[in-house]
Chains A and B, each alone.
Chain A
Amino acid sequence: MSILRPDLRRIIVETVYTAGAAVACFVVLYGARTWIQSRSLDGGAAEAKRALAGRPPMMVGKRLAIKGVNLDRYRYSLFVITSPSCQFCIHSVPFHRRLLETSRNGGIPMWIVVPTANSTRRFLSRAGLQDAPAANWLDLSRRFQSVPSVVLVDSNGLIRRIWEGELRSEEESALLAAMRDPSSVTVPRRKLISGEAMLTEADLHAVSSDGTTVINPQEREAFRVEHPDGAVNIPLPELAMRAERDLWKDRLNVLDCSVLPAAVCSIAVDHLRKKGFRAAAVDFGGFGTSQ
């Protein structure tokens, strides 16, 4: 026997039904929106970006590899990272065409790197860039910060210079000039906050002795993917705790700052010195070999 009056019961049931239907409609619409967003006509940019997220960042001095491209065949190579769904990339198309022409005249191969080559074929032909060889974002060994980006790489695969975003006309002129003489583009030497220069690989060979420890402060997963030969892995958040256990005070401890911003590197080196360790920072640029 129900304690509710029949009309009240009917109202409650109808309210619950309507609320349920409203929730279902909301969920269906929200799901559809998410699905459309994830598969929008951006040439798979969103998915590619997610897949790239775990890769090391693209930085000057680092080694860039690109699947299917033999960089040592050319003295310099140029990569234009772009996307059909980015308005800055579309604005930059005329400049990219000029860049293609200039680099071709200078004997520098220029690759157009797009989210997925298939979905952006139309974009490339409309942009007049169909003659340039195309590669996929996912073929890059490093993630980039923004599109469009232009990356100049030498024959060792080391990144010499990165131009990010839609460039101003003077920046475009400077880039075109650099393409006429790419050897004039130099890799700047990184410094700590104190102004102390980070060691280079050559400096390290000169100062290191048998007991020198090279500390790679990456997380374990990243260390497994790539690290300099002979480096020990102490992730940065553990360095203060583990220094006493894993490092020698009377030997040189060199922190690999290739993977750290200069400010963070400075703090870490200072911390080790305050604890009585002989410490220095090194920037390897591209790694010698990796596992």
Chain B
Amino acid sequence: MVALSCVGRLLLGFVVVSLTAHPEACASAGEMLNVKYGRRGPILRGSAELFRLSAVHAPLPGYPNPLRQAGRGGLVVIELVVSPAGGVVESLVLESFDEKAAAEVTATVATWRFRSEKEMMVAGLSKGCKGCLRVNRLAFDFVILKGRGMVVDLAERAVKGQAFPDPFHKGKE
């Protein structure tokens, strides 16, 4: 033991840590994000409509050309983890009709920006959950109408469909 260098001793420590770490600490690859992040600390869930309302930069994914030409459409459901600052930390496709569509959705939602934690608190949407990650789902419907490919953000449609009150613009008009 005396002959062991400092680095060696620390390495030993890391080896022991890795050998004795609790198996539940490591999330499996296919695990849903709300389970994975929920285990690490408190997360903020909530309705998909409110989650969609909190998006400030939300471009729609494009319709992949090969799918449009083949006339293929369907549903892509994705789960997102949003940081307190409003950036997308991680995403996981839960359901998709095609890999290309899933890849397009994943790439697009990675660029989405959401309201920051401070703005959420002002709007009264994240009381008592300081520093929490937000985990929620979005669904995109790839449809072909008259030969043209169209992507419908189902959460956005649900918001519009029921005239959801926007908590971020209360009393500003």
Residues of chain A having any CB pair with chain B under 8 Å: 13, 16-17, 20-21, 23-24, 26-28, 30-32, 34-35, 38, 50, 219-220, 235, 237-238, 240-245, 274-275
- In the complex, the answer to whether B137 meets A238 with C-beta atoms within 8 Å is yes
- In the complex, the answer to whether A20 meets B48 with C-beta atoms within 8 Å is no
**Chain B window 120-148, contacts with chain A (Cβ cutoff 8 Å), 1 for yes, 0 for no:** 00000000000000001111010000000
Known contacts A244-B161, A275-B162; is A238 also within 8 Å of B20 by CB?
no
14 contacts between A and B (CB under 8 A): A17-B6, A20-B10, A24-B12, A27-B16, A28-B16, A34-B20, A237-B136, A238-B48, A238-B137, A240-B49, A241-B155, A243-B158, A245-B75, A275-B161
Within 8 Å CB of B162, what residues of A? 274-275
Within 8 Å CB of A23, what residues of B? 9-10, 13
- In the complex, the answer to whether B16 meets A240 with C-beta atoms within 8 Å is no
- In the complex, the answer to whether A30 meets B24 with C-beta atoms within 8 Å is no
Measured in the bound complex, the distance between the Cα atoms of B24 and A241 in whole Å is: 32
- In the complex, the answer to whether A17 meets B9 with C-beta atoms within 8 Å is yes
Q: Which among B12, B16, B48, B95 has the greatest number of chain A C-beta atoms within 10 A?
A: B16
Measured in the bound complex, the distance between the Cα atoms of B85 and A170 in whole Å is: 56
Minimum CB–CB distance from A81 to chain B (whole Å) comes to 23
Minimum CB–CB distance from B16 to chain A (whole Å) comes to 5
- In the complex, the answer to whether A24 meets B9 with C-beta atoms within 8 Å is yes
Minimum CB–CB distance from B26 to chain A (whole Å) comes to 13
- In the complex, the answer to whether B9 meets A21 with C-beta atoms within 8 Å is yes
- In the complex, the answer to whether A16 meets B6 with C-beta atoms within 8 Å is yes
Residue of A nearest to B141 (CB): A245
Within 8 Å CB of B155, what residues of A? 241
Residue of A nearest to B154 (CB): A241
Minimum CB–CB distance from B139 to chain A (whole Å) comes to 5
Known contacts A24-B10, A24-B12, A237-B137; is A244 also within 8 Å of B158 by CB?
yes
Residue of A nearest to B14 (CB): A27
Within 8 Å CB of B20, what residues of A? 27, 30-32, 34-35
Within 8 Å CB of B6, what residues of A? 13, 16-17, 20
Within 8 Å CB of B14, what residues of A? 27
Minimum CB–CB distance from A55 to chain B (whole Å) comes to 15
Residue of B nearest to A13 (CB): B6
Measured in the bound complex, the distance between the Cα atoms of B34 and A219 in whole Å is: 12
Residue of A nearest to B48 (CB): A241
Chain B 1-53 residues near chain A, CB threshold 8 A: 1, 6, 9-10, 12-14, 16-17, 19-20, 22, 24, 32, 45, 47-49
Residue of B nearest to A233 (CB): B95
Known contacts A241-B48, A275-B161; is A20 also within 8 Å of B13 by CB?
yes
Within 8 Å by CB of B77, from A28, A32, A50, A238, lies A238
Measured in the bound complex, the distance between the Cα atoms of B16 and A30 in whole Å is: 9
Measured in the bound complex, the distance between the Cα atoms of B19 and A241 in whole Å is: 44
Within 8 Å CB of B45, what residues of A? 237
Minimum CB–CB distance from A285 to chain B (whole Å) comes to 27
13 A-B pairs besides A30-B20, A238-B137 with CB distance below 8 A are A21-B1, A24-B16, A27-B13, A27-B17, A31-B19, A238-B48, A240-B49, A241-B138, A241-B139, A242-B154, A244-B161, A245-B139, A245-B141
Minimum CB–CB distance from A212 to chain B (whole Å) comes to 22
Within 8 Å CB of A245, what residues of B? 75, 139, 141, 154
Measured in the bound complex, the distance between the Cα atoms of B162 and A170 in whole Å is: 52
Within 8 Å CB of B154, what residues of A? 241-242, 244-245
Minimum CB–CB distance from B27 to chain A (whole Å) comes to 14
Residue of B nearest to A30 (CB): B20
Cβ-based interface call for B94 (8 A) = yes
Residue of B nearest to A241 (CB): B154
Measured in the bound complex, the distance between the Cα atoms of B154 and A245 in whole Å is: 8
Within 8 Å by CB of B47, from A24, A240, A274, lies A240
Minimum CB–CB distance from A231 to chain B (whole Å) comes to 16
Minimum CB–CB distance from A217 to chain B (whole Å) comes to 13
Cβ-based interface call for B72 (8 A) = no
